[in-house]
């Protein structure tokens, strides 16, 4: 009798666990809407980032600090392995490498390249609208337990990007973005120490090339 009771209790426990898990099943539309809402309400964001690039037989890892501010302002300060700066005030975008004494400039509206998906962090778009076939990616392990990974194809960059992976935290923050290009190259951004709605002066997004710096128009490649 005790054995039967124990087995019965185990079955009840397992059944309850399964039902609870089913109740927590992720609904992609609901999750995407929650992410949109979260970022649409943000005014600014500061985070530490790690950028990993794999392609053309090489791998590169870089780290630094990111500042974002609406509307359309961003500043990426790369510290390691060498100093670089990618900054945009919403009108002009600059890429500057102090060691090269060169600064590249282009209109922010022309930044239609693999960095475009980072607009998600500025709350400028809707995930389901921009990512065709948005779905769960159960085959991709998240960086942290409890996070959910989504995948989709960016309609605006379908000729260059085969898919984008977004890792979303339980708080609906985007902790990772993986941009998989059609040529096999992949760029991954990981975000940590995220601080939302912090005070960031507009001056942080201004850039003037230091004296002796060559300025080149077009072609930004951090």
Q: What was the pLDDT predicted at 193?
A: 95
What band does 3 get if pLDDT is binned at 50, 70 and 90?
very low
Category of 212 on φ-ψ map: left (φ > 0), alpha (ψ -120 to 50) or beta: left
Who's near 146: CB < 8 A, 6+ residues apart? 169, 170
pTM of the predicted model as reported, rounded to 2 decimal places: 0.81
pLDDT in tens, 186-216: 999 999 999 999 999 999 999 999 998 998 8
Say if CB 190 and CB 35 are below 8 A apart.
no
What band does 117 get if pLDDT is binned at 50, 70 and 90?
low
Instruction: Please say if the pLDDT value at position 11 is more than 90.
Output: no
Percent above pLDDT 90 for the chain: 59
Q: What was the pLDDT predicted at 114?
A: 52
- CATH class belonging to 2-217: mainly beta
Domain boundaries, the chain: 2-217
Residues in the chain: 222
Q: What was the pLDDT predicted at 25?
A: 54
pLDDT in tens, 48-71: 999 999 998 899 999 999 999 988
Average pLDDT over residues 86-98: 91
Lookup result for tokens 């998240």 = 142
Average pLDDT over residues 8-12: 37
Q: What is the average pLDDT value for the chain, to the nearest integer?
A: 83
Q: What was the pLDDT predicted at 116?
A: 58
Strand segments, DSSP code E, in 81-185 are: 84-88, 92-97, 102-107, 131-136, 148-154, 161-168, 174-181
CA 188, CA 109: separation in Å to the nearest integer?
Answer: 23
pLDDT in tens, 134-191: 999 999 999 999 999 999 998 777 788 899 999 999 999 999 999 999 999 999 999 9
């Amino acid at each position: 009798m005790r054995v039967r009771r124990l087995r019965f209790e185990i079955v009840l426990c397992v059944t309850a666990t399964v039902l609870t898990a089913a109740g927590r099943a992720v609904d992609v539309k609901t999750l995407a809407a929650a992410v949109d809402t979260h970022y649409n309400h943000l005014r600014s964001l500061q985070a530490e980032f790690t950028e990993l690039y794999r392609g053309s037989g090489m791998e590169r890892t870089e780290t630094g600090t990111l500042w974002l501010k609406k509307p359309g302002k961003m500043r990426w300060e790369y510290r390691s392995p060498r100093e670089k700066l990618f900054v945009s005030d919403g009108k002009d975008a600059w890429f500057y490498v102090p060691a090269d004494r060169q600064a590249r400039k282009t209109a922010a509206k022309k930044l239609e390249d693999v960095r475009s998906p980072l607009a998600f962090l500025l709350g400028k778009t809707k995930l389901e609208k921009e990512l065709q076939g948005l779905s769960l990616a159960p085959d991709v392990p998240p960086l942290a337990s409890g996070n959910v990974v989504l995948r989709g194809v960016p309609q605006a960059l379908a000729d260059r990007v085969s898919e984008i992976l977004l890792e979303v935290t339980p708080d609906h923050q985007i902790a990772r973005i993986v941009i998989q290009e059609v040529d096999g190259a992949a760029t991954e951004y990981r975000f940590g120490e995220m601080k939302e709605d912090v005070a960031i002066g507009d001056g942080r997004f201004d850039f003037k090339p230091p004296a002796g710096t060559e300025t080149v128009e077009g072609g930004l490649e951090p």
